[in-house]
Amino acid sequence: MKVLRKTLRRLLMIIGYVVILNIVSVMWVHASSETSFKQVDNKYIYTYEVQEKEEASFLSSLEKEKTIDNKKATLIDTQKTGGSTSLSTIRTVDKSFISDTNNTADIISKIESSVDYSENGYKGTLNFDTSSLTIDEIKGDSHEYKVSITRRYNDYSRNDLDTIPKTITQNGIVYYLVNPTWNITSTEIIDNQEVPATYSAIMNYEGITTRTDPSTYEVHYSYTGNVEKLDEAPIIYTVTYEKENKFNIIPAVLTSGGIFFCAIIILLQRKHITLYNKQDNGFKKVRKINITKNNSINLDKYKHLYTSKEFKLEFDNKYFNKYRNTHIDIIYDNTTKNTEITRNPIIVRF
């Protein structure tokens, strides 16, 4: 009921203003949203939220004179604050690859000096950080395999192995006799029979050795640099009219269609998050706000209303259910906190 009463009170206030709007002013409402109004003595102070693309249209539609409470009021001051801001931060991207050499110069020649960055709305160029380069050796695998050698022996009178080496050690490898072969090299006649007189031997030996694959190298390095994104936010215009003391009666004609139109505008502009700032005696309400279309809340534009860097954001129930478990960027004093909405309200400290 409290929210309903506030909405109705704002609706009645807007209806009163619509009485004196002309056709140009009605068209202008589409491009801007009146967020507050107050009267100080004979001055009427209006605050408007204006999208940047509609700023020119808004300024051209501002009335130099208007009738308020049946009295002529003159535009005396227009002040501009807010608007889109450029957010800057530092990003680092880690990379790695496998190299067949550990020569630093050769490795650096394979690394691009810079890369383009585009993520979460931030864009920029990141440069290779030479101090981030690390090179770690990956030992090659070892494999066992057979090797063989052959030895020849001549002028043996017998074809037996008694005098033949059974093992040979060469270059640290022990070779074992595996396949002896004998050949007759000369003969003689004994008792009218030709018999072998000398032999030659071909002796084959085999051994086992180990081969280790060449080492490779795991290379790690980083790119780093400043990236920026445009944080879109409406321009806040504070427009002040001064009312003349002379009484002036202007007929107020407002059709039911106009009232309905104003009601629709108010409902569309309704804020769903109550922003509080921490004070000495607890949290104090600052104003109602919404999450922007790029899932962010910029607290900088109300900085003059804060006394601390601790905030509480209390969501309407339906709005909380809509954004539950969603990440949003909360921005204050050039610092961005990426916050997941898991409870209501949420506390944010900078």
pLDDT tens column, 224-276: 999 999 888 889 999 999 987 654 444 444 444 555 555 555 555 678 999 99
Secondary structure (3-state) at 16: helix
Mean pLDDT of 15-23: 53
Tokens of 237: 């215009």
Averaged pLDDT score across all residues of the chain: 85
CA distances from 6 to 49, 60, 68, 207, 242 (A): 20, 31, 22, 97, 27
Residue 56 pLDDT greater than 80, yes or no: yes
pLDDT interval class at 177 (50, 70, 90): very high
pLDDT of residue 312: 95
Residue 179 pLDDT greater than 50, yes or no: yes
- Helix or strand (DSSP H, E) at 260: helix 256-268
User: Any residues with CB less than 8 A from the CB of 169 and at least 6 apart, and which?
Assistant: 175
pLDDT of residue 75: 93
Residue 21 pLDDT greater than 80, yes or no: no
pLDDT of residue 85: 86
SS (H, E, C) 262-278: HHHHHHHCCCCEEEEEE
Residue 150 pLDDT greater than 90, yes or no: yes
Tell me 233's DSSP state.
Answer: -
pLDDT of residue 18: 54
Mean pLDDT of 276-300: 91
